[in-house]
Amino acid sequence: MNIVKFEIKSYISSTNKTNIKNNAFNIKKIERNFIFFSKLELTSILSLYSKQISKGHWKDYALDSKIDNAIFSIYRHTQDKPLYQIVKSSQKGFRNKPNFYIKKSEEVISKSNNLFTILSNFEKKLSIKKLKKN
């Protein structure tokens, strides 16, 4: 029978503590540069998504955030490529003026500064015909 003795060592020295604090500061600085969907934007996208789910057109979604854009990908089947991608992009320093566009594979279907204009492309518009009175 072998007896193994473990020693607890402190791997963080006093000089490394300042490096960790600087790294945490740099991570927070990088996170500030990422683009995200706002609560209102995400709510409107998810309400459209739930309508399409109930109709059986869409099945799954994925969210992705990068430094210059945020992507909401819509899948028809779980293991396929995204059917549509709703992208919010912004140039560095222009976080308050994003551009929204819808991509189908690599083709941009529509582009606008307003998300609701983009999402209206998915809504089925009903036409109501008036009856003529004789």
pLDDT in tens, 25-60: 555 555 566 788 889 999 999 999 999 899 888 899
Per-residue pLDDT, 85: 93
**Mean pLDDT computed over 68-83:** 88
Map residue 61 onto helix, strand or coil.
Answer: strand
pTM here is 0.67
Q: Which of 31-40, 74-83, 103-112 has the lowest mean pLDDT?
A: 31-40
Of 50, 45, 90, give the one whose Cα is nearest residue 63.
Answer: 45
- CA–CA separation, 28 and 103 (whole Å): 30
φ, ψ dihedrals at 70, nearest 5°: -120, 140
**Domain extents in the chain:** 33-119
Question: 89: which DSSP letter?
Answer: E
Share of the chain above pLDDT 70, in %: 63
| Residue 86 and residue 102 in contact, taking contact as beta carbons nearer than 8 Å | yes
Per-residue pLDDT, 44: 93
